[in-house]
Structure 1
Amino acid sequence: MLGSFDSSSHDDDEEEPPPNAYIHQTRHRSLVPPPVHIRQLLISCAELVSRSDLSAAHRLITVLATSSSPFGDSTERLVHQFTRALSLRLDFLMNPNPAAAAAASSQDLGSADDALIQSSYLSLNQVTPFVRFCQLTANQAILEATDGQKAIHILDFDIMHGVQWPPLLQAVAERYPPPTLRITATGSDREILRRTGDRLARFAHSLGLRFQFHPLILLSNQDPISITSSVLLRHDETLAVNCVNYLHRLLKDCNRLLLFLQRIKSMSPKVLTVADHNLPIFRQQRFVEALDHYAAVFDSLEATLPPNSPERLAVEQIWFGREIADIVAGDGGDNRRERHERFTSWAAMLRCAGFSNTPLSPFALSQAKLLLRLHYPSEGYQLHILDESLFLAWQNQPLFSVSSWH
């Protein structure tokens, strides 16, 4: 079983035709390459870009563009997104004005407005188990760590719309006597934070739960370490820190990430919940691993949603499309938002910051199984426990991990 969790287990020694062989073939035929070649064409194009063979990469991108579509099958849709990302990367490299290229790349990567991005996030939460799996499992770890406490304080980094918290509020309200609950939440949009706090406060009031919400605005250019000094800690409260799909954004500077984790550790949380992609930091030689990760994501959407699902289209093009473009096109640039790492590296960083892994309970696993069975009935989704943490996989390709630390 352990071997199935190494996303680098593809056969690197398998002999493959050189990139120029594919370009030579496409020059002498007008037919679109068969699907079995498209994946290799993408890899070849990435190799050409990494070698700075830009004219050859441009010709291959033209072939890939005619071989893909955002409305085709899962392979065609995946190729479309990666081709777009490689094209952006190529434009960045070919532009003689680096500042202008960086600005154009940043503008393209952020072309979807905030309303569309927020809408695609809500669709992602509805049509895939990824968000719910991470949040439900993290909630269970928080509930177990704070059992019997009279006052609970949750520090949530990037709360988004707060969809994680109503189930936890309900579970806390059912305790006797119910404890007080306070959430300190960070976010980049003041209005979204306000609306999120209002919704959670109304829901808590309907449950008879004593509840407070404290928003903290985290600007895009602000060091997350600085905002921790604004967090009000009370000696009578039990602190839980939630980092669901957040820490990967800090990978740009691993030293600052370590300082951030050490700062969190100094706050003495009862539990730190971490959930993120099980995907390595993108480097050109690891292009195959990024491709494998998103191929599994797109296959899962293909298997669980109708062919013409507008929600799937939004999730693929806006949410995952932005991730792919940022990982591939923004590689090495200061404008890059998305960086990822395997769980084993996350675990090493957390231990280096002084944290110890807390095993997730059997009930957390049972809850995750129930979630998949009731809402996403597909045999392709799998749950595995490895190193006291829980993984969600699609056809043995690990996609997301959730772990609990103290």
Structure 2
Amino acid sequence: MTNREQSAQFQMANSASDSAEHSFSGVEDRLSSSNRSNGRIIAGEGLQVPFSKTEDWADSGDISSFSNYRFHQCDLTRKQAPSSENKQREQLQQLSSDYGLLDNLQCNVASLPIQTCLGETTKFARISTKLPDINEARKDKPFQIPISSLELLRNHGSGFKRLIGDGVLEPHTGHGKAELSTTEIMRIASAKYIQSSSGPGDDLALPDYSCLSEEKIRNVQLAEILLAAADKVGCQQFDEASGLLDQCDELCCSTGNPVERTVYYFSEALREKIDRETGKISIKGLGKRMTLDVEEDSMRPSLPIIAHQQLVPFSQIQLFSSIQTIVENVAEAKKIHVVDFRIHSGIQWTVLMQALSARRECSLELLKITAIGTSSQQVIEDAGKRLETFAQMLNVPFSFKIIMLQDMLELKEDLFDLDEEESIVIYAWFLLKTMIYQPERLDSAMKVIKKINPCAMVVIEAESNHNSPAFTNRFAEMLFFYSAYFDCFEECMERDDENRTVLESVYFGQGIRTTLAAEGEERTIRNVRIDVWRAFFSRFGMVEVDLGMASLYQADLIAKKFPCGSSCTLDMNGKCLIIGWKGTPLSSLSAWRFE
């Protein structure tokens, strides 16, 4: 049997197992684009907000707490005498320093209640944070990694590939110069590796290398070595894989260009995978593993997370658009009850308070927030105290309750103080993915939510499939996803920025290692696409809710406030907003209710 025949046979076997691999709790992760729609939103007075025209969408690190936002000084004249107005505003400014400020963001849209203004940057106390040629490797071995599946490559590539008539990959253009993105370089390397290993592909168009710089060519070759190493790990040829990873180590570093950084952390993950499989401990593998609980650590505002939210647009787009969606779903409610499963600093609810205090037609009788937590009780209590103080400043009637659980299975309907007259909203910011590896907890939580029967459930999740039990499938998915993030950091942050180093090494690096190297319940970091969540929510009788024109307008408006905003892509998948980087999807924002 020829190499091409063996590769085709392997691809067929992979295709047959895809439905089992891309699922959780019996829900299939459909890769087809049949249900995906593109379009543009008409917002404001005839203003047309175009959304990126991607053919197909191909998932962070967890971007969670938001603690860097400059509060809009609301018009309080109807509540305060003119003589006390300045004092009131000074108090609000002082309180805002507890959360931090958001530089260079001004969203003064008359038709929208959520607004911000320019301000000086808060000075935070310093927080200590622990922070070639590869033909020989391919000899006598057909390419077996599922990246060789042209269908899988097409699903990843079509969202960002731009092929012109002569088959040359047209580079992404940003800031006036043409440049291949990190994700595009990974796609070229994948196509080259497939072609050289399995023979020419019928529809693989490779770029004209005469148009690439020497650095780009070296980057493609480096990525090919990483692909070869992943191939060997997938085939359990660990000695050969280690040799290839040694080559990667010689050619990349954690402070280099985004391709080198991506390869560096994926190389670490592959070494840890080898250590786990062989039981050997290497200095660069398990011997270097960090034990930080990323989920719990992200609850506490830190300099790296604050820098991320200042300089990278995704968190702010998610926050403002999601709060706008909540505002629209409780427009006529006098009593509002928000259930937040991961409150973090609580900054999102100061934005909601300002929006509700500005309402003219429907006065607010009570804003109730219930915070659910399984750890970091002191952090949640501190968030509650800040929110209570902020509510007093705005004269917003407010109550705050904490429900601490040892296990999500303990969550019951009778733990909530429910009022028949209140409108309930569930806020799930990167929550559901934390329970995918424990489906009984996810099902239990959903059953409780159904009994509460919220008027809306706002869900923010990463948009990628990192849940396949097959290592090689996870590698393919993650390579494109994290390549987009490393590319984003290159455009939004300086290479020698200490905060960037911590974000990449601690948060992204650990996420890559956990997802690639661990198996079973040890693989706690998982993500699935919006199509999977749709199928899952439908089991509980949930239907998708329109986000609303104002929410989509907020997303586009905030993206434009960032210097790198032109590279941040927004698209609609049904009624869901997909937020991406240069066409590669990174997160989804959707709203749901029970029929």
Normalised by the shorter chain, which TM-score bucket? 0.7 to 0.9
What's the counterpart of residue 180 of structure 1? 366
What's the counterpart of residue 426 of structure 2? 241
Q: Does residue 135 of structure 1 match 2:330?
A: no
Task: Output the CA distance in 2 between the equivalents of 1:266 and 1:238.
Answer: 14
Q: CA deviation at 1:87?
A: 1.6
Task: Output the CA distance in 2 between the equivalents of 1:301 and 1:96.
Answer: 34
Q: 1:164 to 1:306 in 2, by over 3 A?
A: same
Q: Secondary structure at the match of 1:404?
A: strand
Q: Secondary structure at the match of 2:239?
A: helix
Deviations 1:1-31 (A, max 9, x none): 4632149414788734459xxxxxxxxxxxx
Q: CA deviation at 1:111?
A: 7.3
Q: 2:381 aligns with which of 189, 194, 203?
A: 194
Quick check: 269-278 or 124-133, which moved more? 124-133
Q: Give the % identical residues.
A: 25
Task: Output the CA distance in 2 between the equivalents of 1:324 and 1:254.
Answer: 22
What's the counterpart of residue 168 of structure 1? 352
Task: Output the CA distance in 2 between the equivalents of 1:18 and 1:69.
Answer: 27
Correspondence list, 1:381-400, <5 A? 381-400=568-587
Deviations 1:24-65 (A, max 9, x none): xxxxxxxxx931122232232223222222222222222222
Q: 2:486 aligns with which of 298, 307, 324?
A: 298
Q: 1:111 to 1:248 in 2, by over 3 A?
A: closer
Q: Which amino acid aligns with 1:342?
A: R
Contact 2:560 2:566 in 1 (8 A): no
What's the counterpart of residue 272 of structure 2? 88
Q: 1:349 aligns with which of 536, 545, 553?
A: 536
Q: 1:262 to 1:115 in 2, by over 3 A?
A: closer
Contact 1:161 1:192 in 2 (8 A): yes
Contact 1:4 1:397 in 2 (8 A): no
Instruction: Mark the runs of 5 or more structure 2 residues left unpaired by the alignment.
Output: 1-52, 60-151, 158-189, 199-216
Contact 2:579 2:586 in 1 (8 A): yes
Q: 1:235 to 1:133 in 2, by over 3 A?
A: same
What's the counterpart of residue 101 of structure 1? none
What's the counterpart of residue 317 of structure 1? 505
Q: 1:277 to 1:54 in 2, by over 3 A?
A: same
Q: Secondary structure at the match of 2:331?
A: coil
Q: 1:218 to 1:335 in 2, by over 3 A?
A: farther
Task: Output the CA distance in 2 between the equivalents of 1:392 and 1:238.
Answer: 28
What's the counterpart of residue 332 of structure 2? 148
Q: 1:225 to 1:147 in 2, by over 3 A?
A: farther
Quick check: 73-82 or 316-325, which moved more? 316-325
Task: Output the CA distance in 1 between the equivalents of 2:390 and 2:300.
Answer: 25
Q: CA deviation at 1:299?
A: 0.8
Q: Which amino acid aligns with 1:317?
A: S
Q: 1:336 to 1:118 in 2, by over 3 A?
A: farther
Contact 2:485 2:581 in 1 (8 A): yes
What's the counterpart of residue 210 of structure 1? 397
What's the counterpart of residue 57 of structure 2? 5
Q: CA deviation at 1:368?
A: 0.8
TM-score by length of 2: 0.60
Correspondence list, 1:235-384, <5 A? 235-283=420-468, 284-286=471-473, 287-330=475-518, 332-384=519-571
Contact 2:464 2:481 in 1 (8 A): yes
Task: Output the CA distance in 2 between the equivalents of 1:372 and 1:105.
Answer: 40
Q: CA deviation at 1:85?
A: 1.6
TM-score by length of 1: 0.87
Task: Output the CA distance in 2 between the equivalents of 1:57 and 1:169.
Answer: 54
Task: Output the CA distance in 2 between the equivalents of 1:403 and 1:77.
Answer: 32
Instruction: Mark the runs of 5 or more structure 1 residues left unpaired by the alignment.
Output: 20-32, 98-103
Higher helix share: 1
Task: Output the CA distance in 2 between the equivalents of 1:106 and 1:209.
Answer: 49
Deviations 1:258-298 (A, max 9, x none): 34223312210000011111010343232122110111111
Task: Output the CA distance in 2 between the equivalents of 1:234 and 1:51.
Answer: 58
Q: Which amino acid aligns with 1:185?
A: A
Contact 1:204 1:211 in 2 (8 A): yes
What's the counterpart of residue 26 of structure 1? none
Contact 1:151 1:180 in 2 (8 A): yes
Q: Secondary structure at the match of 2:571?
A: strand
Root-mean-square deviation (CA, aligned residues, Å) is: 2.6
Contact 1:258 1:353 in 2 (8 A): no
Q: Does residue 77 of structure 1 match 2:261?
A: yes
Task: Output the CA distance in 2 between the equivalents of 1:89 and 1:132.
Answer: 35
What's the counterpart of residue 24 of structure 1? none
Contact 1:172 1:179 in 2 (8 A): no
Contact 2:299 2:379 in 1 (8 A): no
Quick check: 73-82 or 116-125, which moved more? 116-125
Q: Secondary structure at the match of 2:337?
A: strand
Contact 1:282 1:328 in 2 (8 A): no
What's the counterpart of residue 173 of structure 2? none
What's the counterpart of residue 68 of structure 1? 252
Contact 2:338 2:370 in 1 (8 A): yes
Q: How many residues align?
A: 383
What's the counterpart of residue 39 of structure 1? 223
